[in-house]
Amino acid sequence: MTARSLRRAITALGACLILCALLSIFIAEAALHPQRRRLSAEEITYVHDLADRMQVDLADVSSTTTDGVTLRAWKLRPAHPNGDSVILLHGLSDNRLGMIGYAELLLAHHYVVLMPDARAHGESGGAIATYGLLERTDVRRWYEFLVADSHPRCVFGFAESMGAAQLLQAARTPFCAIAAESPFSNFREIAYDRFGQFFHVGPWLGRTIFRPVIESSLAYVRWKYSFDLESVSPEEVVIGVNTPILLIHGTDDRNIPVRHSYRILAHNPHIVLWEVPQTDHCGAISTHPEEFAAKLLQWLQLPASNHPHG
């Protein structure tokens, strides 16, 4: 190799390393700072109208986290509550209104419903989203809020997508039962998917060519924010958990493929998976509304003897 060729190779390598570093920082910051979707006046009016129509008491409530972040939520109480409460958790870059369809279903069956905005989402505080590292404690705080506020017989959880992963990571909270639709199994695995989806290929691209970018992003987050996103792992948290867990996942989910739920299931044989045919991401309530309602309500009505609550 000539001196000129060597210089060109070194220059090309340096450029690749710089590009990899810049791309890693961009990806890390974008992941930690998702687009915030605040509640609009029209959305707030819609919820108030819904509460009036269903004769539901609607209250704005808040909770302060252990790190001083104020989280905000709606608490909806039907006129004749059945004694149980459900916490609903939304997906990435959404807000609490994204769970309103589930809230309507549960309110019609007389559950008290709590609809929080996740940290760094909606009207809640917080500068960054951590996909469960901090949010698992936030979920616990909301659980404790409901117990103190409403004195329910049982507290359940239902969530979708990012919220589903957060809820599973809070599975050691003494819920009576939880249901999670379209969760990811761990942060690294969903990162592989995201790179493949960008180029319309499978996760192999993230596992191979773009793996240095993913590793650098994780290292950058550890260095700058002192968070280890590699420990974001619903599949590991559910090991040994006795809380009844129902996973719901569409067979045609192109956002978070169904293999993620299979990975979670493999870590706890007591988990139940409903694999929903011809259904994309978090779409079960749309493609199979009657079956979805029946399965969810049945899950929340398990015999009290099966609930490790308290």
Q: Indicate the pLDDT class of residue 143, thresholds 50, 70 and 90.
A: very high
Q: Note whether residue 10 is domain-resident.
A: no
67-121 pLDDT per residue, tens:
999 999 999 999 999 999 999 999 999 999 999 999 999 999 999 999 999 999 9
Hey, what's the torsion of the CAs at 145, 150, 155, 158, to 10 degrees? -70
Q: Note whether residue 8 is domain-resident.
A: no
Tell me the DSSP string of the chain: --HHHHHHHHHHHHHHHHHHHHHHHHHHHHHHSPPP-PPPHHHHHHHHHHHHHHTEEEEEEEEE-TTSPEEEEEEEEESS--SEEEEEE--TT--GGGGHHHHHHHHHTT-EEEEEPPTTSTT---S---TTTTHHHHHHHHHHHHHHHH--SEEEEEEETHHHHHHHHTTTS--SEEEEES--S-HHHHHHHHHHHHTTS-THHHHTTTHHHHHHHHHHHHHHH---GGG--HHHHTTT--S-EEEEEETT-SSS-THHHHHHHHT-TT-EEEEETT--TT-HHHHSHHHHHHHHHHHHT--GGG----
Domain extent, residue 59, equals 33-186+232-303
Q: Note whether residue 1 is domain-resident.
A: no
pTM of the predicted model, to two decimals? 0.92
Nearest to 138 by CA among 175, 166, 99: 166
What CATH number does the domain containing 182 carry?
3.40.50.1820
- Say how many residues make up the chain: 310
Give the mean model confidence (pLDDT) for residues 255-270. 96
Q: Note whether residue 3 is domain-resident.
A: no
Q: What is the mean pLDDT of the chain?
A: 92
Is 21 a residue whose pLDDT tops 80? no
Q: Note whether residue 199 is domain-resident.
A: no
Is 7 a residue whose pLDDT tops 80? no
Q: Indicate the pLDDT class of residue 245, thresholds 50, 70 and 90.
A: very high
Q: Note whether residue 214 is domain-resident.
A: no
How many separate domains does the chain show?
1
